Chain A
Amino acid sequence: MTTDAVPATATGTLTHRRLPRYAPAVTLALSAAVGAGLSAAVGFSVPAFVVGALLAYMATITIAAGVVEGRRKAVDRLVTSLVYAAFGIALVPLTSVVWSVLANGLPRFGAEFLTTSLRNVTGLHDQQAAEGLAPYIGGAYHAVLGTFLITALATLISVPVGLLASIYLVEYGRGRLARAITFFVDVMTGIPSIVAGLFAAALFGVLFGVGTRNGFAGAVALSVLMIPVVVRSSEEMLRIVPNELREAAYALGIPKWRAVVRVVLPTAISGIASGITLAIARVVGETAPLIVTAGFTSSINNNPFADWMMSLPAYVYSQAMRPLSGSTPEPSLDRAWAAALTLVIIVMALNLVARLVARLFAPKNSR
């Protein structure tokens, strides 16, 4: 044996007793049983079962850890279980929304729903369909088209205004004017959406006569809501562009506006683009401002500058609140759920697009 051999492992101050690795899993299983028993005693229900099981688990694992592992570990186990429980609770609304929209929306959702409008569909059709005498008809093509047109117009208005405003705030704005703009952008962020809608309705009433409703008015209402979001997110992104890059550009004799366009914007573009996409996702589901500006219709209208225009949120609202057939509202409710599903799919797709855009435009780092 050589003198520099590793000495035999000693048990001393560094080691202490620990609960076995499988302890949390076993405790959880037992707690589930206890929870089932407790909730059965008060009349079984899922929430009672979950709460009972959770409390049983927390008590058991904390006491067990306290006895075996010591105070610090016991607190650690308790807080760990609290954190996981909070995470689970936060997931409940999300999953239940997705679940109910999928479950209720899927029956009517499909190609036919997305490619037909509600024109000439009446309560009579719904009644016959409900009695099995005729197929379910009537879709949301006109609403999808309207949502697309209105949101696209709103984006066309908001992005230049919002982006240029944020460039002003970050690159040029000094003193009172910049502070005033920042303040009003903050105020605009908090405007209730119905107020934005009424503003646009009143504006178009003054300009083109009271009661003017069309897709463009809806787009104006949405851009009132969208501009502050775009300003804010672009501003954040422009501010995190290091000043050193601007200085490097100036030191090369590059005029300020070119430095902004060719150096600052490309560096921040991934964040700006995903911010814009999220702003679109934010306004695509707005209901109130569209009801008072774009109105309702059951026909396809592909001209946003004339006549009432349907949008998906307004479609959901009208189908749910004013079914085509008062006596058999179920077909209308199914359509409302299918439209809601369409909306959720659009928002999710936009969020995915935002991530994709951020990754595509991100400055490439080979290290």
Chain B
Amino acid sequence: MPAHANRIDVGDLNVYYGSFKAVEDVSMVIEPGSVTAFIGPSGCGKSTFIRTLNRMHEVVPGARVEGKVLLDGEDLYGADVDPVVVRRQIGMVFQRPNPFPTMSIRDNVLAGIKLNGARIRRSESDEIVEQSLRGANLWTEVKDRLDKPGSGLSGGQQQRLCIARAIAVQPDVLLMDEPCSALDPISTLAIEDLISELKKNYTIVIVTHNMQQASRVSDRTAFFNIEGTGKPGRLVEMDDTAKIFTNPSVQATEDYVSGRFG
């Protein structure tokens, strides 16, 4: 268990893009130190929803939410909450690896610290780089070329570099939006192993299209569905992963996880 719990409570959350309601009425609890997987067909709002957990949806013009997201009881959408501060505590890894092309591997890892204007000593930054890269299982592969550009790595390595970059700022929660969908099976396995490691220190939420992946890495699974085009996505059910995949309480979940639709 980490020093302080990082429990996320979501209450009656609606997400809109302009006048279009993308996600409707989601309530859930994400336990600290657990891995929670979001599954569901494309367009059901799970990526939209995960972005509301660190206010990344605000990057899209016209996107807004109604409802509450509480991190340890504190509302992320409170009046005086700065989204920048929220994102420092709730990091995110994206679908496509996106290291900064102008920076070396080392600078990529330190980006969150350096770009926030913090001045750190060389020894301290060396330590952060090594810790973060070790944490992302990338240290042994890149330790001899830390000053080479990050874009020279393979896709799987780039994604692990992005994870290292995300954990270098020491967030409490790590959101992963389909982190393996652009990777080959071997890199995927490396990332999955990494997720099991990371959950010792972080609360992890992962969106995935790969149901084997959800069952391998997660403790809890949430199934999202959409009734039809133009309708908002909804949370159908959320339960322990084992239960969702063996004995779900809703028929639609069973149909989805058994591959009968979607």
Contacts and interface: CB of A to CB of B under 8 A. Distances in A.
Given A363-B102, A366-B149, A367-B151, A254 B94 contact: no
B59 A246 contact: yes
A366 B87 contact: no
B171 to A, nearest CB: 8
B220 interface: no
Contact of B115 (A243, A244, A254, A365): A254
B151 A244 contact: no
A365 to B, nearest CB: 6
Interface in A105-130: none
Contact of B56 (A250, A255, A262): A250
A252 B102 contact: no
A145 B160 CA distance: 55
Contact of B59 (A247, A254, A267): A247
Interface in B68-117: 84-89, 91-94, 96, 98-102, 111-112, 115-117
A365 B101 contact: yes
Interface range on chain A (Cβ under 8 Å from partner): 20 to 34
B162 interface: yes
Given A250-B56, A363-B149, A244 B84 contact: no
Contact of A249 (B54, B115, B151): B115
Given A247-B56, A262-B115, A366-B152, A252 B87 contact: yes
Contacts of B115: 249, 252, 254, 258-259, 262-263
Interface string B140-183: 00000000110110000000001001100100000000000000
A366 B148 contact: yes
Max chain A Cβ within 10 angstroms of own Cβ: one of B92, B99, B162:
B92
Contact of B149 (A242, A249, A364): A364
A252 B166 contact: yes
Contact of A253 (B96, B98, B102, B169): B169
Contacts of A363: 101-102, 149, 151
Interface in B25-53: none
A251 interface: yes
A75 interface: no
Given A262-B115, A363-B149, A364-B149, A248 B100 contact: yes
Nearest to A266: B102
Interface in A229-253: 242-253
A47 to B, nearest CB: 51
Contacts of B94: 244, 247-248, 251
Contacts of B162: 248
22 contacts: A244-B94, A244-B96, A245-B101, A248-B94, A248-B100, A248-B162, A251-B54, A251-B87, A251-B94, A252-B169, A253-B84, A253-B112, A254-B115, A254-B116, A258-B117, A263-B100, A263-B115, A266-B102, A267-B101, A363-B149, A366-B149, A366-B151
Contacts of B59: 243, 246-247, 250
B152 A365 contact: yes
A258 B166 CA distance: 17
A238 to B, nearest CB: 14
